[in-house]
Amino acid sequence: MQNKEYIVALDQGTTSSRAIIFNQSGEIAGVAQREFKQHYPQSGWVEHDPQDIWSTQFSVLTEALTKSKINSSKIKGIGITNQRETTVIWDRKTGVPIYNAIVWQDRRTAEYCRSISDKGHGPLIQKKTGLLIDAYFSASKINWILDNVKGARKKAEKGELAFGTIDTWLIWNLTNGETHVTDVTNASRTMIFNIQTMAWDDELLEIFDIPKSILPEVKSSSEIYAETSNEILSHQIPIAGIAGDQQAALFGQMCTTKGMVKNTYGTGCFMLMNIGKKPVISKNKLVTTVAWQIGKEVTYALEGSIFIGGAIVQWLRDELGIIKKSADVEKLASSVEDSNGVYLVPAFAGLGAPIWNPDARGTIVGLSRGANAAHIARAALESIAFQTVDILRAMESDAGLKIKELRVDGGATQNNLLMQFQSDILSSTTVRPEITETTALGAAYLAGLAVGFWKDIEEISKQWKEDKKFEPNKKTKTKELLEEWHRAVNATVYWAENK
């Protein structure tokens, strides 16, 4: 008979907070979700109210327990996974944030990052952190808050302020201000954490003018950090796992062997490859990140980001009006055999890895008189797969590894046409798992390992089950299609650079 005990994953995302309760078989026993308000005070600025993040996250935790009729005494541990890089600074005494959370998408510090780059700090920062200088990461956001909130720098130097990514902010609140910690995966996204020494780096702190006193203690991804406060829940529950959302998804997909790769198809796409126990610094404009740390053992990953993935389908729906709902895109795109020579480069927010051109803008090429809505829909879907191939080839080159299969998750993976084309164009197997909530599952697994809910990774690996496997169609003219795609990308870059 199965033990009626559970693990809760708190999945704090960019637009909503969720709580998912998992049983020992890794199945979902309860779930609750709540969206919260996005703030756009100026063009390119994106903020969240940290109190909204905390209140929605706490309310979905209690709601999931109530709805599933599970007593908190049956919860053996809490795992946390979160939107990464988003930055909060608060007063240690009052616990009140001194400014809104600056979200990972925020571009206000782009100019400041350019000035850091112009001083020649790029190679040192990449060597120490695995990251490319960009407003995306936390360091420049911290610097902005300290410089732009009255009296913040003075307070920080006196040790009166605390900085945290969202995992840190949630734990501070869950423990009623008793615990100020983060894990190695979130720390590795700040641009002030040295992934070679696995510690905050004094030289980087000096470059970004950040006092060490505000930083949380860095822990592994799977250990008991603290227990929830008596004032929060009726039973004290160990908080025992933390991982940034993409690293959690890599673990939830059980990509625990060097060379295994997962791609999450959301608004954008995030691809991570397990590169083993030594960090590899990318020569192809990818970032190197900490995948997780269990015990003393650190695992690293290469990561590539596609800015516009599933968002291209929303654009077809909302701006072009050629579909009524997102799910309709598969039927429309399937009504034609191919894209009829149409290529769509969805550089609406610039091009991410491995091009990194922030000035690029979306382009459609190859239009003829016979091109119609179905061809454009098909070209839009194919653009997601093409971008994925470009990142994967860059990863293979950096890591010196050839991939055998791609594990996929996220909303767009329900689109069988896209998944089949992805397999064709990659010339390798694409595998969709039964449980696609891999981000929350990864956080639950990390917490469960720490409290002995699951014995080891081997036991967890047996729970991973495939839903559908897509094998490549040998008849697909992969080489020609990719050559044409790269011509389209080059046209997009040319347009951006020749103003």
User: Cα angle at 31 between 12 and 61, to 5 degrees?
Assistant: 55
Distance between CA atoms of 233 and 255, rounded to whole angstroms? Answer: 34
Amino acid at 343: Y
Beta bridge partners of 10: 19, 80
Distance CA(248)–CA(82), nearest Å, equals 9
- The answer on whether 84 is annotated among ligand-binding residues is yes
Instruction: Tell me whether residue 167 is annotated as binding.
Output: no
The token pair at 34 is 């709540």
Cβ atoms of 21 and 74 closer than 8 Å: no
Is beta strand 466-470 parallel, antiparallel or unpaired with respect to 429-433? antiparallel
CA-CA distance, 292 to 295, in Å (whole number)? 10
The verdict on whether residue 15 carries a ligand-binding annotation is: yes
Question: At a CB cut-off of 8 Å and minimum separation 6, what does 46 contact?
Answer: 38, 39, 40, 102, 103, 105, 106
**DSSP line for 43-90:** TT--EE-HHHHHHHHHHHHHHHHHHTT--GGGEEEEEEEE-SS-BEEE
Q: Which residue has the tokens 């046409």?
A: 417
Tell me if 314 is assigned to a ligand binding site.
yes
Q: 415: annotated binding-site residue?
A: yes
The H or E element containing residue 115 is helix 110-118
Smallest CA-to-CA distance from 308 within 251, 255, 262, 267 is with 267
What residues have CB less than 8 Å from 151, skipping those under 6 apart?
Answer: none
Cβ partners under 8 Å of residue 55, min gap 6: none
Q: Is 92 annotated as a binding residue?
A: no
411 is known to lie in a ligand binding site: yes
Residue 267 labeled ligand binder? yes
Is 362 annotated in a binding site? The answer is no
Distance, in Å, from the CA atom of 137 to the CA atom of 340, rounded to the nearest integer, reads 40
Confirm or deny that 424 is annotated as ligand binding: no
Q: CB neighbours (10 Å) of residue 469? A: 12
| 257 annotated as ligand-binding | no
The reply, when asked if residue 388 is annotated as ligand binding, is no
Residue ranges at the known binding site for glycerol: 84-85, 136, 245-246
Residue ranges at the known binding site for ATP: 14-16, 267, 310, 314, 411
Residue ranges at the known binding site for sn-glycerol 3-phosphate: 14, 84-85, 136, 245
Residue ranges at the known binding site for ADP: 14, 18, 267, 310, 411, 415
Residue ranges at the known binding site: 14-16, 18, 84-85, 136, 245-246, 267, 310, 314, 411, 415
